[in-house]
Amino acid sequence: MPALTTAAPAAPLIALVGLPNSGKTTVFNALTGSNYRTVNYPGSTVDCAIGAADLDNRRARVMDLPGITSLDGPSPDEQVAIRALFGDSPHGAPSVYVAIADSTQLPRHLYPAKRLIDAGYRVVVAVTMVDILNKRKHLSFDAEALSRELGCPVVRVDARTGVGLKELRRQTGLLLEAPTTDRAARPAPLSAGDISARYQFLENVTARVVTTSTSKTPLEHRLSICMPDPLTARLDRVFLHPAWGFLVFAAIMTAIFTSIFWLAQPMMDGIDRLFSAAAAWLQAVLPDVWLTRLLTDGVILGVGAVAVFIPQIVILFLALGFLEDSGYLSRGAMIVDKPLAMVGLSGRAFVPILSGFACAIPAMLSTRTIPSARERLLTIFILPLMVCSARLPVYGLLIAFLTPPGMAWLGGLGMTALYLFSVLAGLLAAALFGKIFRLEKSVRPSLLLELPAIRRPKLRVALATTYHRTKSYIQKAGGTILCIAVALWALTHLPPRTHLDESAQLAGSYAAVLGQWLEPVMRPLGLDWRVGVALICAFAAREVFVGALALVLMVSAGGDAIEGPLILAMRNATLADGSPLFTFSSCVGLIIFFGFALQCMSTVAVSRKETGGWYIPTVQLVAFTALAYLSALAAVQGLRWAGIA
């Protein structure tokens, strides 16, 4: 968080409080100029974030927190927020609270604010989503009236467009200036009767500050305040329908996964040509020395082989971004709640699993919204099995190899099947792990999810998320891919023996010497040491497999980057006995291996941190990697036995 450096640590702290999905992070980003992810789904923020803001020429630190529904919520993310609210965080105690409340659900959303105001804290209420209230529900909101009712400043904001931000800054600044009173005490838990009295009060207040121009009876008016907007209600009749809901769900998922493969093709060809042209140009202008070859046959070839798959990743991120902004995620969670319950999970695992398709690491963090510890551990346990974006280049390559030319739709279906397979494998693993390790069964909490308003996703929002996710993907994988490409080039070209042709050079290289050790492990899979070397490299990062394969295959084919795509080299590659290296069975074996193997050390580290010990990450690492090898072996041998090479 670079913004921190611009505020002195002593700058007063402003805490953003509110229910999940009320718009806190959107306000935070607008106040501090940050770029944290906002999702139309409750629980997108699971940790404190801090940034510097300028409030009418007063410097302050602003703290974004996970959403809370009360001042004593059960899930890990809510506890983080509640502790921080009352000063139990490295950032100190907040001086002013900005309570964010969704105007379409005011009674519940004003509850935390009401508790803080009653306890004597300094609170500014920021009311969001008034646009939805106006347009969809034809209701108006009276900020001044609410301010009188609550006895604190109230500002209407839409941080996406900047409405009300100036006033919010001013009011917050004014409260900071106000003479300090003694610090208020943390409010004690309320009895059930007191809680319902507070809600009753807030419902009455809401009926007075949210007004309608159409003539309605007081009862109709109250109902229209707490009902979802008409469009959302109509769509939900389909999205949450027992049969239609499933169909829509299946259609959305299939559309996303199929499009990853076939929509990306033209862009992938473009990137391929770009890298080939760059290599050709460098070879033409630079002298023919080893450094040039390292650059063209090592760096450009290795990095380019992986970079080609970036369009697939971008399409995945874009599709997820649209889904996140539409409000559909909560509906998806409801739809899969029942099936997930069969293996001891719930609909709350849906969003972590879906984010697992991008990367297991943020997915593990997003499990913090799961209140049940058992469910949370189970979800973390299965996340490494989901097809993450690092597997995408590997699958993309192998599926392209297996797909007959001109039948991209078949490849698309293959990709969809792999996603489906990873989910099924995950569910099976959850069922087994829960049983074998007798994870303590929890009383099944009812899936109480906020159902945010459904809306047309904004292209700008989806593009922004895609940009940030792609950037962090490239930052994370790029360095590793570059280093491995250089190291592997060196291993395949050393010791230098200029009188030999390239394939003889490779056979005598250090890589080959190391590779001989792998030969006995690789042969039963129908593969040789060259693929073994690429597989070892893939433990640094899965997608490195593609670049490494390009390096060893191109070198052994005596070719270079310009001669032809990796697929061609794969078709021509042979085993020592002259039979083809990449066959249907050996490719299926590789896909299965990548499906299960935990080749990502960052995932192991995060799993340790999130589960609070080495137990789960060790089981994941050992069990998944052993499963990977054994099931790949079984598949290859089984296919061969059935007469499929």
Ligand X SMILES: Nc1nc2c(ncn2[C@@H]2O[C@H](COP(=O)(O)OP(=O)(O)OP(=O)(O)O)[C@@H](O)[C@H]2O)c(=O)[nH]1
Q: Which stretch binds Mg ion (CB under 5 A): 23-31, 75-83, 580-588, 602-610?
A: 23-31
Whole-number Cα distances in Å, 79 to 48, 86, 487, 538: 11, 11, 46, 38
- Residue 158 interacting with ligand X (CB under 6 A): yes
- 312 contributes a contact to Mg ion by CB under 5 A: no
- Asked if 232 is part of the footprint of ligand X (rule: CB under 6 A), the reply reads no
128 binds ligand X (CB under 6 A): yes
- 18 binds ligand X per the rule CB under 6 A: yes
Q: Is 22 in the site for Mg ion (CB under 5 A)?
A: no
SS3 489: helix
Spatial separation of the C-alpha atoms in residues 14 and 360, rounded to whole Å: 32
Interface with Mg ion by CB under 5 A: which range of 40-48, 96-104, 426-434, 442-450?
A: 40-48
Q: How many Å apart are CA 44 and CA 362, to the nearest integer?
A: 10
Q: Are 620 and 608 in contact (CB under 8 A)?
A: no
List 13, 31, 34, 40, residue binding ligand X (CB under 6 A): 40
What is the CB neighbour count within 10 angstroms for residue 426?
A: 23
Contact region with Mg ion (CB under 5 A), list: 21-29, 189-197, 350-358, 613-621: 21-29
Find the largest Cα–Cα distance for the chain: 95
- Residue 528's binding partner among Mg ion, ligand X, none (Cβ under 5 to 8 angstroms by kind) is none
- Taking the complex as a whole, how short is the minimal distance between the CB of residue 23 and ligand X, in angstroms? 3
Residue 422 contacts ligand X per CB under 6 A: no
**Residue least distant from ligand X (Cβ):** 67
* Residue 85 burial class via C-beta count within 10 angstroms: exposed 0-12, middle 13-18, buried 19 and up: buried
**Rounded to 5°, angle at Cα 394 from 388 and 395:** 75
45 binds Mg ion (CB under 5 A): yes
* Token pair belonging to 107: 């009674």
| Residue 149 touches which of Mg ion, ligand X, none (Cβ within 5-8 Å per kind) | none
**Is there binding between residue 366 and ligand X (CB under 6 A)?**
no
Q: How far is the CB of 1 from ligand X (least distance, A)?
A: 16
245 binds, among ligand X, Mg ion, none (CB under 5 to 8 A by kind): none
Residues 55-74 that bind ligand X (CB under 6 A): 66-67
Would you state the structure tokens that stand for residue 582, as one six-digit string?
A: 């990449």
Regarding 160 and contact with ligand X (CB under 6 A), the answer is yes
Retrieve residue 118's tokens. 């009653």
Q: How many residues bind Mg ion (CB under 5 A)?
A: 4
Calculate Rg over the CA atoms of the chain: 28
Round to whole Å and give the CA distance between 231 and 361: 35
| Residue 519 in tokens | 């030969």
CA–CA separation, 205 and 458 (whole Å): 33
Q: Confirm or reject binding of residue 25 to Mg ion (CB under 5 A).
A: yes
Near ligand X by CB under 6 A: residue from 7, 17, 20, 337: 20
**Site residues for Mg ion per CB under 5 A:** 24-25, 44-45
Interacting residues with ligand X (CB under 6 A)? 18, 20-26, 38-40, 42-45, 66-67, 128-129, 131-132, 158-160, 325
